[in-house]
Amino acid sequence: MTFEVSPVAEVKTSNDLKTLGVNRQVPVNLRQSGDNGSRMLISQRVRKSPFWHLSQEAGCWCYEVYNHMYHPRAYVPYEEGGLLKEYEYLTEHVTLWNVAVERQIQVKGPDADKLVDLAITRSVDNLKVGKARYVILCNEDGGILNDPVLLRPAEDEFWFSLSDTDIAMWLQALNVKNEFDCTVYEIDVAPVQIQGPKATALMVDLFGEQIHDVPYYGLFEGEVNGCSVIVSRTGFSGEAGYEIYLRDASANAERLWYHLLDAGEPYNLKVIAPGHIRRIEAGILSHGQDMDMETNPYQVGLGWQVDLNKSQFVGKEALTRINSEGVTRKLAGVKMGGEQIDWYPADFYLVYAENEMEPIGYITSAFYSPTQGCNIGYAMLPNSFSTIGTQLEVHLPEPYAGGRVPAEVAETPFKPPEFLGTGLAQTGRKL
């Protein structure tokens, strides 16, 4: 495999950082130093999920740290097609993902709904028992702390299925401060995802025809090979998909995993990493890349998540002001030239106006899209450069270009997801 190494000199001064990271306390890491083949230390300081050894058996050869856990990032060997081959399995067959890093934080008790309603920007009243919702949590400045899937398995119980930040401590702090009558704990539940066009057929084999009755973002309680699970009709791929939340995961991981491999064999099931190529196509954002705690919802197309009619939630005052004043920078979809980006970017690739010397923005996510026939991604840009059709240039490192390539702001999603969520239905475009 060839690793990329980018020139360090692309961002030269603190003024460059200030310009690209307007109103940020800590600038994004724009030192374009690439990856020289460094190896990650596997130690007991970072937690291994119940599926860690099973991912190794399935051929995982690259990991990242996510939520203080080791997260699989590649299975198919690079010389056999790598992540683009994994994309093929995802879009043509069915795939199994180890996503135990979505740590499950349970809020339970008589006041569970009050704590959850304070923490999220949407109204908890709209989340009924047996349903799930995509939600965001913001800090007092309106910065996005996390964008989990929120499940409600019981009237007095919620699970936050997290993206990459430690929200358990945040919820515990809110609970202590407000003296709600509920508890906040991480529980021994670990999810896997079943994603791809043959996902529903496989789920019918596992749970019967009743799986057809589960609506988008609906929940279903059942068993797999004697293991108690909750199923949600959700996923991170844009393809048809489900998540299976395994109870008592530390003890039951093998019973579930091996049964899924056997059941999936007729459908050409393949264990792969979460499909970032497909999620970029579908307009799905990744916390820590496309947004973080210094990014507000209005910058990244998530304004529809903010219910300013709610009486109270953390960040309401700031978000009310931001909504009134508007934002100066926002995330936009881009198509760009260069050789196929077939590996996770090791840097934020810098964006320039045509024929200009100073960078105006940076790429947050990028990959080659087989359906678009070019490299695609998201870029944080000044408003004046975020209009669809705006011509730009992006600096791509070797082996993709070793210099600037032409780029254009494009409508998102690049390839619509299987199901149109609330944001896309309301806005007509993701960003």
pTM of the model: 0.94
Give yes or no: residues 303 and 393 share one domain: no
Q: Going by DSSP bridges, is the β-strand pair 219-224/137-138 parallel, antiparallel, or unpaired?
A: unpaired
Give yes or no: residues 384 and 430 share one domain: yes
CA distances for 345 relative to 33, 283, 374, 386, angstroms: 11, 18, 16, 22
Asked whether residue 275 is domain-assigned, the answer is no
Give yes or no: residues 243 and 390 share one domain: no
Mean pLDDT of the chain: 93
Give yes or no: residues 388 and 347 share one domain: yes
Give yes or no: residues 15 and 62 share one domain: no
| Distance of alpha carbon 183 from alpha carbon 9, whole angstroms | 50
Query: Are the C-beta atoms of residues 394 and 402 closer than 8 Å to each other?
Result: no
What was the pLDDT predicted at 376?
A: 98
Give yes or no: residues 34 and 62 share one domain: no
- Please check if 358 is assigned to a binding site: no
Give yes or no: residues 403 and 306 share one domain: no
What was the pLDDT predicted at 262?
A: 98
Alpha-carbon torsion angle 297, 302, 307, 311, nearest 10: -30
Asked whether residue 390 is domain-assigned, the answer is yes
Alpha-carbon torsion angle 219, 221, 222, 223, nearest 10: 100
What was the pLDDT predicted at 30?
A: 76
User: Is 275 a residue whose pLDDT tops 50?
Assistant: yes
Domain closes at, from 280, 304, 327: 327
Sign, CA torsion 416/420/422/427? positive
Give yes or no: residues 17 and 110 share one domain: no
Per cent of the chain over pLDDT 90 is 86
Domain closes at, from 280, 305, 327: 327
Which residues, 6+ apart, have CB-to-CB distance to 89 below 8 Å? 95, 196, 268, 270, 272
pLDDT tens profile 168-211? 999 999 999 999 999 999 999 999 999 999 999 999 999 999 99
CATH number, residue 26: 2.40.30.110
Give yes or no: residues 26 and 150 share one domain: no
What was the pLDDT predicted at 366?
A: 98
Give yes or no: residues 174 and 310 share one domain: yes
Q: What is the mean pLDDT of residues 331-341?
A: 98
In 3-state terms the chain splits into helix, strand, coil percentages (rounded to 5) of 25, 30, 45
pLDDT tens profile 367-399? 999 999 999 999 999 999 999 999 999 999 999
CA distances for 5 relative to 8, 38, 342, angstroms: 9, 12, 15
Give yes or no: residues 301 and 219 share one domain: yes
Sign, CA torsion 377/383/384/389? positive
Q: In terms of residues, how long is the chain?
A: 431
What was the pLDDT predicted at 334?
A: 98
Q: How many domains does the chain have?
A: 2
Query: Are the C-beta atoms of residues 58 and 32 closer than 8 Å to each other?
Result: no
Asked whether residue 103 is domain-assigned, the answer is yes
Give yes or no: residues 247 and 381 share one domain: no
Domain that holds residue 65: 41-74+94-268+296-327
Domain closes at, from 305, 327, 349: 327
